Amino acid sequence: MRRLSEAEVLLQSLGVEAAEDIDLPTIACHLGVIAIRERRLDGCEARVIGRGGNAIISVNASSIKQRRRFSVCHELGHWHLHRGETLYCKSADIGDRDVAHAKEKQANRFAADLLLPPYIVERMAYAYRDLTVRVVDEIRAPFTASRSATAIQLVRLHPKPAMIAFSTSTRRPWQIPGPGVPRSLSVRPDLGQDTWAFNMLYAGAPDQPHPRPIRAEAFFERRGAERFRVTEQSFAAGDGIVATIIGFTDPKMLEACADGW
């Protein structure tokens, strides 16, 4: 049986059973956060300032609603997990980026589980045979969550093996594998030119409307990758980032990876 995260334990203690039960001001008050203020912030998305058992969270008023909600959850994570420590959250620390700082990773995971509780999202995910952007959009709507945050949770929770990869034109891609996908399987630094992600990054292509099969070697630089096919569905994730849901439809590929391929 899967162990509940700290955010899930908190939500269940408050009787949260559905997306509409997630009331961030009420949760914040329960944790001792007496106010959530939207204001202009330079260089950061949000911050929490506390004294004793009480705190105030400030969030960047110019960010979109989904971003503001995730940022509030991120700061609640710091207040719940790292109270008494001085932390400065840059914009790049909050969200689905490849964050190096361990405490920022912890706050991001707490935020994801608070905004998109796995014990709720998992029940919803099992109602869909495949993991697609359409499914992501249907599930994220009642939570007022971003595509990226929802896609990450679904990759972790959907019964079919998948990976979500994030690519930019300036740095190496990073990825989050779902259960059953070896962590050693990394997306190649130079995406294949026949990937939709490449065309989004360098040719201004729009979001990919449907998953499509593609040679595995377009994403994975391993000898013999041409023997396998995966599915790709890419979408814009903001700030020059393209997110790609990679589905593994050939179980022999994952078996080969597990055997050291």
pLDDT tens by residue, 161-216: 999 999 998 888 999 999 999 888 999 989 899 999 999 999 999 999 999 999 99
**Confidence at 98, pLDDT banded by 50, 70, 90:** low
Residue 164 shares a structural domain with residue 154: no
- Show the domain range for 228: 160-261
- Last residue of some domain: 159, 177, 199? 159
- Last residue of some domain: 137, 159, 181? 159
Residue 241 shares a structural domain with residue 123: no
Residue 130 shares a structural domain with residue 165: no
Cα 121 to Cα 223: distance, rounded to the nearest angstrom: 37
Residue 253 shares a structural domain with residue 133: no
Residue 248 shares a structural domain with residue 141: no
Q: Which residue has the tokens 């506390």?
A: 50
Write out the DSSP string of 159-203.
SS-EEEEEE-SSS--EEEE-TTS-TT----SS--TTSHHHHHHHH
Residue 103 shares a structural domain with residue 133: yes
Q: What pLDDT sits at residue 242?
A: 96
Residue 122 shares a structural domain with residue 250: no
Residue 168 shares a structural domain with residue 137: no
- Last residue of some domain: 159, 182, 216? 159
Residue 139 shares a structural domain with residue 184: no
| 213-234 burial: b if 16+ Cβ within 10 Å, else e | ebbbbbbbebeebeebbbbbbb
Residue 249 identity (one-letter amino acid): T
- Give me the number of domains the chain comprises: 2
Residue 225 shares a structural domain with residue 183: yes
Residue 135 shares a structural domain with residue 16: yes
Tell me the mean pLDDT in the region 72-97.
Answer: 75
Tell me the mean pLDDT in the region 231-244.
Answer: 94
